Structure 1
Amino acid sequence: MKISHLTSSMLLVLPLFVPSHSAWASYAFYVGNNLTQDQGVLVGGTGEEVSSHWLEIVPAADHEPGSMIEVGVTEAAYLPGQLVEIPQVAHTFRYLSMSYSDYEGFPAPLTNGGVNEHQVAVRDVWATNREELIDMTPSPQRGPQYSDLARLVLERASSAREGVELIGELIAKHGYSTYGGNTHLIADPDEGWVVWEFAGGQGLWAAERLGSDDVRVLYPGYIEEFPLDYQQNPDFMGSDNLVTFAEEQGWFDSQGNETFNIFDIYGRQDTQARTGGYKYMTQAALEKATEEMAPVTEQEMMVRVRDHRITDDEAGYGQVISLKQGVNADLVRIWVAPTGSVAAPFLPWWLGVQQVPLEFGQHRYLTKGTASNFLNPDFQIQEASDFAGRRFKQVMYLMCEKPAAYRPKVTEMLKGFEQESFDDMTWVEGSARTLIDQGQRENARAMLTFYANSRAEEAMDLGETLVDWLYASLKLTSGLRRPESEQINDPGGETVNCLVDADPDKPQDAQ
């Protein structure tokens, strides 16, 4: 195990070892609407999985009575489970998410969340529990898992509070399948909630409200002080047995106490909630850096999500969204970087967009099972297109070979590309709003689709230019380094990052 430590400024930590049964992590950022420039709730985050990621805009749908959906995990999961069916609702909402293909025993496609037509945004974040809880998880376990819950909230919730209540109801009725504990950040234009679902098969969960003056960064997810009378407190929710179970296990004594610390009782016992480590900035440091930006803009949130101390080869994509009152469903906008945003531009997408470019759809690069199967002919044209995820991975790998020389220049170009998009937002969204007001909703959707697809194509051109420049620069200056090992897959050490010599304390910019 690598031992974590804080510098004197308490900003940086060395990474802790993540057990093999922990999910690939993911970050989530929340900034309340009193601390943002446009008075919208800001949500940002990354998806941190090995596998391929692709963009999906899922339309609203009506379902026949008696329709069922499959949820849960298989016997291949670290904590083995059994897939089960639960009832589908009559109507599901439109939503946007990034999907991915692989987490052992968790059926694809998986999602960390996204945003729906009611401006309910969801981020999924790992949050491992104490070993005693993990050990008592039934085998096989049954019930929805983290991706199922994120998707069901997007499909069914019209507010963040409804999303929390939905998770509680689903766990109570159908159980919960886990890899060892998980959190969800759920937000809308008024508030946010951190929901922590616990291993153990006891139906345990807890939720804390985040308000207009709050900043929260989850990595891992955490909840700390929690009132004993939480069921009478509008800022907290949880399962009925949340306190009594801890008392039965000897983990907590309510005598003389008015609160208890969720992390201390149910979280990992070898680390701390906000300063326990993982990657190179603690949650405390990231929260402080975000607070210092107030009033925070979408572009400043992109800076936080893009920070090279947290965004590396593990970051499958980046997301930033501002949730504001009174936005038409077609104009709900989310910025998405197609892979780690340290090497890729954030692109604007709206729920009114009718078609995702082939380059941003699913491809075989890093998709589970591709080494053992030939291509489905139905995908042959999509697969023949360039893949955004692959293109910007190339940028990352080349740029991070000499990060002090290349990262500042690449970042400058990515921000310049994003500024062009921001400069267009007034006329693009104003025009779409005018068309909708005039009863021309389909024309508004067509315009949003054309603009979003055009910017996506221009991003691919930018990526190609960056790859050509970086490759040529390396070849003509230091030469193209060849591998010295025989194993192309990482054996469990440091992944590709843009820290100089993988050291967060070294000067990062070229002199």
Structure 2
Amino acid sequence: MTFRLILPAVAAAVTAASGPALASYGFYVGKDLSETGGVLIGGTGEEVSSHWLEIVPAQTHGNDATVSVGVTDEASMPGELIDIPQAAETFRYLTMNYSDYQGFPAPLTNGGINQHQVAVRDIWATNRSDLTDMTPNPQRGPQYSDLARLVLERATTAREGVELIGELIAEHGYSTYGGNTHLIADPNEAWVVWEFSGGQGLWAAERLEPDEVRVLYPGYIEDFPLDFEESEDFMGAPNLISFAEEQGWFDPDTTDTFNVFDVYGPQDGRKARTGGYKYMSQADIEDELKEMAPVSEREMMDMVRDPRVADDEAGYGQVASLEKGTDPDMIQIWVAPTGSVTAPFIPWYLGVQDVPPEYGMHRYLTKGAASSFLNPDYQLQESTDFAGRTFKQVLYYTCSDPDTYLDPVVSYLEGFEEDSFEDQEWVEISAQTLIDNDQRAAAQTMLTHYSTGRAMEALDLGETIKDALGVHIELSGAFRDPETAQINDPGGETPNCLASANPDKPADQQ
């Protein structure tokens, strides 16, 4: 496959700018522009952390049950944990957990998908420094991961998820590293929710249109009606506009539209869609996706795999098509166990009952692993191969010479995925037939056997690719020893497979 490279000249400058780390992408294609007629979403998380797949069962909780939310005094913007009431019932959901980000307590999540087909993606979004400066110390309230998890646990629609975030912030506050967004979708609609730092309870939400494409890196909202409380397409904190007026950031006498990005976004001259981040702008990718319409799951995978998006920072990749009438056990999400540029998407169903230990928690990149010994409770799981580590090795081999290795590696991954696509008809017809005949447990067993089987076949493929690349590099004399004593990146560009791009050069010099 061919990757088109769009490299904004300002990418390096923005990346080097002060503020919170740049992390996580989100892609939305409305149901009018998707091949299946369902809402199509994709994304990747970017954290220096171990990542593992987890399917959390539906649970019931006592009247006095609570859940801990917030951040500790070790966070980049210090806070303290608080307990808030837990819901009486929480829903089944699938997620990729991870072990550390900005000092936030583990396990963390960027979202996933639940039994009501509510999908959540967490995406970074900086706000103006004035808000960051006025954030209380310590701050209290749920943070980005808490909000994503609570929506998965409690929301039956995307709109409910947005309303839940607003209620949680109003009642308990909000803890942040400097602002954040969530993409929340279901088969009918999708929303972008932007939560702001500052301790003022500020948030805004925009409903995305069915004929719209939205790329979030960072997340953004622009034009917002002054009478948003009268609209079905917008939601926000009651003081969203009045607070900006009080601060002198917005004058309603000069315009009848409130631009959320211009008012509450970073005040450094960058624009919402074209500021330049890494090797792409949101506008460029949005235009590409529109040109593809009707967009397929295959094409969304290609976008999430695009080396402008997936590099060493990508902890995983996800793609899901949200379609009306899907049985809860048949809800599917494609997940790559680490950066999908060199890792295959594996089809997981929500009816799967067990995750192979190779895809569960391991010590590789887990916070504290370098300063503590293994908990004996994990000795058997740790004895297994770890998919995240295997495909990281494939990434490093491939990115050492992407001109030579990237296309062959991607072709193997795509071949694996095409086999999975071809399986979908018989798998889904068989499982749905069992469900329709009151044999749900048998359907769950079948889905578990299929998805875990494909996961293990994916790991076998990764080992084969890794070994083949290692042998080729060794025999060709391309292996080299490190030239420095520092194994950890001091803050430059992470390994990437952009064969024709130099991150240190402006775009017009590529």
Contact kept, 8 Å, 2:8 with 2:276, in 1: the verdict is no
Corresponding residue number in structure 1 for 2:148: 150
Q: How many correspondences in the alignment?
A: 500
Q: Please tell me whether residue 220 in structure 1 is matched to residue 223 in structure 2.
A: no
SS for the counterpart of 1:292 is helix
Distance change (3 Å), C-alpha of 1:8 and 1:154? closer
Q: Deviations over 1:405-448 (max 9, x none)?
A: 10011111100000000000000011000000010000000000
- Greater alpha carbon shift after TM alignment, 11-20 vs 299-308: 11-20
Partner of 1:261: 259
Aligned to 2:468: 469
Q: CA deviation at 1:10?
A: 7.8
Given that residues 33 and 211 in structure 2 are in contact (C-alpha distance below 8 angstroms), is that contact kept between their aligned partners in structure 1?
Answer: yes
Q: Is the 8 A contact 1:208 1:223 kept in 2?
A: yes
Q: How far apart are 1:93 and its partner, in Å?
A: 0.3
Amino acid at match of 1:433: Q
2: CA distance, partners of 1:54 / 1:134 = 31
Cα distance in 2 for partners of 1:163, 1:257 equals 31
AA aligned opposite 2:285: L
Structure 1 position 78, deviation (Å): 1.3
* Contact kept? 1:183, 1:194, Cα under 8 Å: yes
User: Would the aligned equivalents of 1:309 and 1:504 in 2 still touch at CA under 8 Å?
Assistant: no
Specify every segment of 5 or more residues in structure 1 that has no aligned partner in the other structure, as ranges. 1-6, 507-511
SS in structure 1 opposite 2:205? Answer: strand
Does the aligned pair in 2 maintain the 1:12–1:282 contact within 8 Å? no
**Contact 2:220/2:261 (8 A) holds in 1:** yes
Secondary structure, aligned partner of 2:340:
coil
CA contact (8 A) 2:102 2:177 kept: no
Q: Which residue of 2 aligns with 1:188?
A: 186
Conserved? CA contact 1:23–1:103, under 8 Å: no
Give 2:241's aligned residue.
243
Measure how far apart 1:104 and its partner are. 3.0
1:12 positional shift: 7.1
Deviation, 1:23, is 4.0
Q: 1:64 to 1:188 in 2, by over 3 A?
A: same
The 5-angstrom pairing of residues 14-413 of structure 1 reads 14-15=11-12, 16-18=14-16, 22-270=20-268, 271-413=270-412
SS at match of 1:207: strand
Report the CA distance between 1:500 and its aligned residue: 2.5
1:8 and 1:342, CA in 2 relative to 1: closer, same or farther beyond 3 A?
Answer: closer
Residue 494 of structure 1 pairs with residue 493 of structure 2: yes
Q: Closer, same or farther in 2 for the Cα pair 1:410/1:13, shift >3 Å?
A: farther
Q: For residue 13 of structure 1, report the CA deviation from its aligned partner.
A: 5.5
Aligned match of 1:420:
419
* 2:508 equivalent in structure 1: none
Q: Matched residues in 2 for 1:31 and 1:503: separation?
A: 30
Distance 1:195 1:118 in 2: 19
CA distance in 2, matches of 1:428, 1:493: 45
Q: How far apart are 1:495 and its partner, in Å?
A: 0.5
Q: Match for 1:497: what amino acid?
A: N
**Which shows bigger deviation, 11-20 or 43-52?**
11-20
CA contact (8 A) 1:13 1:281 kept: no
TM-score by length of 1: 0.96
C-alpha distance in structure 2 between counterparts of 1:323 and 1:504, whole Å: 36
Structure 2 gaps, min length 5: 506-510
C-alpha separation in 2, matches of 1:177 and 1:475: 49
The amino acid across from 1:311 in the alignment is A
Contact preservation (8 Å) 1:306, 1:341: yes
Shift of 1:277: 1.2
Q: Secondary structure of the equivalent of 1:430?
A: helix
1:256: Cα distance to partner?
Answer: 4.1
Letter of the 2:222 counterpart: E
How far apart, CA to CA, are the structure 1 residues paired with 2:318 and 2:6? 28
CA distance in 2, matches of 1:122, 1:197: 15
Contact 2:15 2:278 in 1 (8 A): no
C-alpha distance 18-61 of structure 1, shift in aligned 2 (>3 A):
farther
**Structure 1 segments of 4 or more deviating over 3 A?**
7-13, 18-21
Q: Which amino acid letter does the alignment assign opposite residue 175 of structure 1?
A: G
Describe the SS at the equivalent of 1:17: helix
CA distance in 2, matches of 1:330, 1:20: 44
Where does residue 436 of structure 2 map in the other structure? 437
Name the SS of the counterpart of 1:383 in structure 2. helix
Query: For 1:316, what is the secondary structure of its paired residue?
Result: strand
> What is the alpha-carbon distance in structure 1 between the residues aligned to residue 232 and residue 484 of structure 2?
57
User: How far apart are residue 18 of structure 1 and its match?
Assistant: 5.0
Q: Is the 8 A contact 1:11 1:285 kept in 2?
A: no
